[in-house]
Structure 1
Amino acid sequence: MALDTRTDRRPSFAGLLWRSTVGKKTAMAVSGLVMLLYLVVHMLGNLKIFFGAADFDAYAAWLRTIGEPFLHHEWFLWIARVVLLAAVVVHAVAAYQLSRRDLAARPAKYARPSSRPRPRRRASYATRTMRWGGVILGLFIVWHVLDLTTLTVNPRAEAGHPYANVVATFSTWYGNAVYVVAMLALGLHIRHGFWSAAQTLGANRPGRDRTLKTLANALAAALTLGFIAVPVSVMTGVVS
């Protein structure tokens, strides 16, 4: 008599959650908040450039020593990069899969357009902005890493001189154009994304909606202006 060696492989709770629309939206919301926290810290660090080359270079060097001697040199920086990369991947994959589900759920078109009512526009302005903004930001991340981390596309960059490298980047018209367009896209992404994340995580209430919308607008404006302040200051000679 042959034994049935098959096992009942039930999907895990995490797997079931990821497959659901609610789970994907939750993953997008949580990963988005992780990236938002990083952006706030990153912007504040960038603004140290207004204190001069010595302070900015010292700040960049300090980032590589966080956690010492418990952590080795640059370990904290690499841990932060891995966490951020995981958040970006989860956010992008969930967004893509939700977009595909949204397209698949749209009603089929009738053969005679005149015989059917006007279809409801499912893709709102905010949704389209989020999708295209996400694509722009994804491309910008690649450029930004090649520009100021690996220094591949920054012809005047020199390892160990972050202040000078930032000035070199924003001394070119294309460096400024890429950065400013990406930061404008980031502002719109945060404005819509923060509100969407609040709804997904159940933070919105009738009495809180106006406060959350105001906070979303304030965060988007502060981050956009804070990031753009650096290239504008280099262009105008305030930072040189």
Structure 2
Amino acid sequence: MTTTASGRRTGRASTIALKLLMAVTGVVFVLYVLVHMYGNLMAFGGQETFDTYAHHLRELLTPMLPYGGFLWVMRVVLVASLVGHAGAAFALWSRANKARDQRYVVKKAVRATLSSRTMRWGGVALLAFVVFHLLHLTTHTIDPAGTGGDSPYLRLVEGFELWWVTLIYLVAMVALGMHLRHGAFSALQTLGLTSTKKRYRIAQGFGLTLAIVIAGGFSLVPLSVLVGIIQ
């Protein structure tokens, strides 16, 4: 009995650790997408503004780091966070499947939201989009417009002028918004900030607001390109 109780305590502790890992790596991603969204909105300032911003990103922390070094450090942090986030999510999902009984299923089915039910598949969709996005605008491996230009602004605009590229992006933003809504709430719940009804509602509202601001902010640029506001 002692061994069983010790095993349960160890299991609970590791589950808490996995949830904390998801929360911390989730915060890293939220901070990144906020900065990235701000950078994307520079496109409303025109080609010179956007290209200058992209150039300055590569000069950050020089000469301590080589040209573009900061971006590589950031990419390493993001990849490490992605591995930790995805690994923790898979481990928690696997444990939940093993521990779930019929009563638990019924209880969760009543309270589950669309965002919570699509977290895993939404995460997979976002991962696929990130790969496409990097191949398009970072490595230039994919060039839908067929221009092959060096200007970040022109590559962005000419890409989003294609309706199907914009559609892929907007679908990904829907997935991002749903992921952020439930993820932000879950992170606050893990940190013990939803203990009362008022805090629970605030956490729900925070998740929804964050999702609308970030997904909506990212969607402004491709939609503006498609309708001709950004040219």
SS class of match (1:79): helix
Q: Say which of 110, 126, 137 aligns to 1:137.
A: 126
**1:106 Cα deviation from its structure 2 partner:** 2.2
Q: After the TM superposition, which residues 74-153 of structure 1 pair with which residues of structure 2 at under 5 Å, given as runs?
A: 74-107=68-101, 120=106, 122=108, 124-125=112-113, 126-153=115-142
User: Residue by residue, what CA displacement relative to the aligned partner does 1:96-130 show, whole Å, maximum 9, x if unpaired?
Assistant: 1111111111238xxxxxxxx89625463343221
Q: TM-score, normalised by structure 2?
A: 0.87
SS class of match (1:64): helix
Change (3 A) 1:204 1:172: same
SS class of match (1:208): helix
Change (3 A) 1:119 1:195: closer
Change (3 A) 1:18 1:229: farther
Indicate the RMSD between aligned Cα atoms, in angstroms.
Answer: 2.2
The separation in 2 between residues aligned to 1:130 and 1:143, in whole angstroms, is 20
**1:176 Cα deviation from its structure 2 partner:** 0.9
User: Residue by residue, what CA displacement relative to the aligned partner does 1:118-163 show, whole Å, maximum 9, x if unpaired?
Assistant: 9625463343221121111011111111111111121435353100
Q: Say which of 27, 37, 43 aligns to 2:31.
A: 37
- Determine if contact 1:17/1:24 at 8 Å carries over to the other structure: no
**1:28 Cα deviation from its structure 2 partner:** 0.6
The separation in 2 between residues aligned to 1:237 and 1:203, in whole angstroms, is 44
The separation in 1 between residues aligned to 2:190 and 2:104, in whole angstroms, is 29
Q: After the TM superposition, which residues 12-31 of structure 1 pair with which residues of structure 2 at under 5 Å, given as runs?
A: 20-31=14-25
User: Residue by residue, what CA displacement relative to the aligned partner does 1:26-74 show, whole Å, maximum 9, x if unpaired?
Assistant: 1111000100000000000100000000000000000000001222211
- Determine if contact 2:59/2:67 at 8 Å carries over to the other structure: yes
Structure 2 counterpart of 1:197, one-letter code: A
How many residue pairs get matched?
Answer: 217
Change (3 A) 1:118 1:141: closer
Q: Whose radius of gyration is greater, 1 or 2?
A: 1
Q: Say which of 204, 207, 212 aligns to 1:213.
A: 204
The separation in 2 between residues aligned to 1:28 and 1:78, in whole angstroms, is 23
The separation in 2 between residues aligned to 1:159 and 1:67, in whole angstroms, is 27
Change (3 A) 1:84 1:157: farther
- Determine if contact 1:154/1:168 at 8 Å carries over to the other structure: no
- Determine if contact 1:191/1:219 at 8 Å carries over to the other structure: yes
Structure 2: tracts of 5 or more residues without a match: 1-9
Q: After the TM superposition, which residues 44-55 of structure 1 pair with which residues of structure 2 at under 5 Å, given as runs?
A: 44-55=38-49
The separation in 2 between residues aligned to 1:86 and 1:119, in whole angstroms, is 33
SS class of match (2:100): coil
The separation in 2 between residues aligned to 1:201 and 1:84, in whole angstroms, is 22
Change (3 A) 1:105 1:71: same
Question: Counting helix residues as a fraction of each chain, which structure ranks higher?
Answer: 2
Partner of 2:175: 185
The separation in 2 between residues aligned to 1:46 and 1:105, in whole angstroms, is 43
Partner of 1:9: none
Q: TM-score, normalised by structure 1?
A: 0.84
